Structure 1
């Protein structure tokens, strides 16, 4: 872990002063290199695709979930700068797709979840160091904007499964210090079908104090509702689409979509055939539905590349994002709403986490609560 600790960025603390997003065309050009070419458009796609490229140049995609770390851990060697055919994601394809930031998931298998997340945080730092021209580790909205302005793709650590904190707020704080920024509230005794326990509520409050975002994809409805009530920070659903269109268990029913939007949260629609359907039009249908129910400020994108999921044929890797944006423009989406979808909504949530953490630290010391003290026999 020495390499990871040596590389800690002082700006990762939620109380650090945020960078201002760089104005003007320079930041747009930074995410649209000269070789930017999407996959070949179909007949009649020229004008919407050109508009899509222009929107993405100014407002790149902040992708809510990527499984690249787990994929790279199985490879003996890789080069993401030149292009890596053994995975879905590399720097050239991210650039061609207009991706400006991506959340890299930290896989936490049962039995050794904490150790696995520590190893992947270490791997994340190593991958970023090995690709300095394309990637930069970031932890908040200001760092993501700064990376974009410098022509780098921001990599945010998380989500990780809640099992990684081992029912310990001290471990949560340690993982945050090492970079963790998103925690998925599933797979633990304190966040389940009955909602959050007393200890679960304390976990959410401590996450707010630190600036760690709650991910509620796959969480039971009671946990979603209670987290929305307890959290002072906007929450994410990093891999959820509309259950009204496709009855996948991780997709959200309309009542939860509306509650998420009312609370300032963000539903990041995954580009997977299982959750959204086999075509780019199916994905766009989900985006239309989430926007209509939760509002334009509550919808985002989640590529879920390198997770083993099957993707719509037109969206096989991150370079295909312009096709999706072109489809939305053909449907009459305003460019301002596309800008929220791709970049603005994620930036708002990240800024919200920073500001809420700063305020919480002024009034709250690190919690010393334990699951045994708060949940008693229920935690046994």
Structure 2
């Protein structure tokens, strides 16, 4: 039934069914906090506390779909862990995910620097196996998901949906067959940066074939860290929305993975998604700095093209008050204080990720009716 609902929704105009109607949803003078306790939100209440209560209420209805987590790699270095009880040595566990109202999480299939060929493929499969093992070991808190419908089902069952990806381009070993095999195992996002066919000069002919094949099977293309030439070419040829899993605004902070203003405008025109990372290096040391980037991306790309990427357990330093997965209500409270509408916030936290997942699936269904699996070889196209 979930698959049928997903297919019916995918046939609607992209984004139409994902835009929540939540204006006025939190007008009551008495609200409940995350523990279910009544909180006075009237005019005599403290303004900051009232805004935080509103943030919790909004996130309870529209949780965070977090675009990047390094948790699988971090867990490899722990001799023992229980994510449902909580782990102080990492940034993410089930109690903090619930405190932060995280409803879905993309788990990165990270590779050590320099791994290529069969070693990269093998390491990616090991990471994929680890993710499945971790999720199966924590059934009360986590559930694997491979589609927007399954993400929603997990949320409705009180579980955090875990999606596989992004995987590094090196994981393909320049083979479209391996790409399809990884997809059959659940991969939903592929990062293009770091491949010989997606370099400083842009996509080669084989690189363009990779993008077309990801469109055909329903894998999202991640362009964070890719060269400007690769970004612009992928935006042109991809029939499915592209994502940037860890990119903020270069106009505010000149980090190489951040996006210039003209790319943000083009991203909005193509209905892609920029997932702003909560890292001090890319966005700044405070919640206000992160909010500045979200304001900037929303202004240039539009409210349907901005999302959140915790980037927790990746080794990055995080802004103050956003040190782990429990901090999202503080960020949403900051945005409420800046005048973000509740409908735009619902898109930011949940709706936009759902839209691109549905769009990728819809594009893949259409592409498979027109295009057979590609058997192209890099030696044939780029040799």
Q: Distance between the aligned counterparts of 1:373 and 1:244, measured in 2?
A: 40
Equivalence for 1:138 = 145
> For the aligned residues, what is the CA RMSD?
2.3
Q: Is this contact kept in 1: 2:34–2:57, CA < 8 A?
A: no
Q: Distance between the aligned counterparts of 1:33 and 1:216, measured in 2?
A: 38
Determine whether 1:226 maps to 2:233.
yes
- State the SS of the aligned residue for 2:369: helix
Q: Distance between the aligned counterparts of 1:36 and 1:184, measured in 2?
A: 40
Equivalence for 2:199 = 192
- State the SS of the aligned residue for 2:246: coil
Q: Distance between the aligned counterparts of 2:160 and 2:288, measured in 1?
A: 27
Equivalence for 1:159 = 166
Q: Distance between the aligned counterparts of 1:310 and 1:161, measured in 2?
A: 22
Q: Any unmatched runs of 5+ in structure 1?
A: 1-10, 38-42
The CA deviation string for residues 345-366 of structure 1, in whole angstroms up to 9 with x for no partner, is: 0000000000001111111111
- Which residue, 368, 377, 380 being the options, matches 1:370? 377
Q: Distance between the aligned counterparts of 1:15 and 1:234, measured in 2?
A: 22
Determine whether 1:321 maps to 2:328.
yes
- State the SS of the aligned residue for 1:62: strand
- Which residue, 22, 35, 56 being the options, matches 2:59? 56
Determine whether 1:92 maps to 2:99.
no
Q: Which moved more, 1:361-370 or 1:105-114?
A: 105-114
Number of paired residues? 354
Equivalence for 1:105 = 108
Equivalence for 1:76 = 79
User: Which TM-score applies when normalising by structure 2?
Assistant: 0.88
Q: CA deviation at 1:108?
A: 2.1
User: Which TM-score applies when normalising by structure 1?
Assistant: 0.89
1:80–1:124 distance in 2 versus 1, CA, 3 Å: same
Query: What pairs with 1:190-339 in structure 2 (closer than 5 Å)?
Result: 190-339=197-346
The CA deviation string for residues 186-244 of structure 1, in whole angstroms up to 9 with x for no partner, is: 11111111111111111011101110100000111110111111111101000000000
Equivalence for 1:172 = 179
Q: Is this contact kept in 2: 1:35–1:96, CA < 8 A?
A: no
Q: Distance between the aligned counterparts of 1:224 and 1:257, measured in 2?
A: 11
Q: Is this contact kept in 1: 2:33–2:56, CA < 8 A?
A: no
Q: Is this contact kept in 2: 1:15–1:358, CA < 8 A?
A: no
1:19–1:127 distance in 2 versus 1, CA, 3 Å: farther
Q: CA deviation at 1:76?
A: 1.1
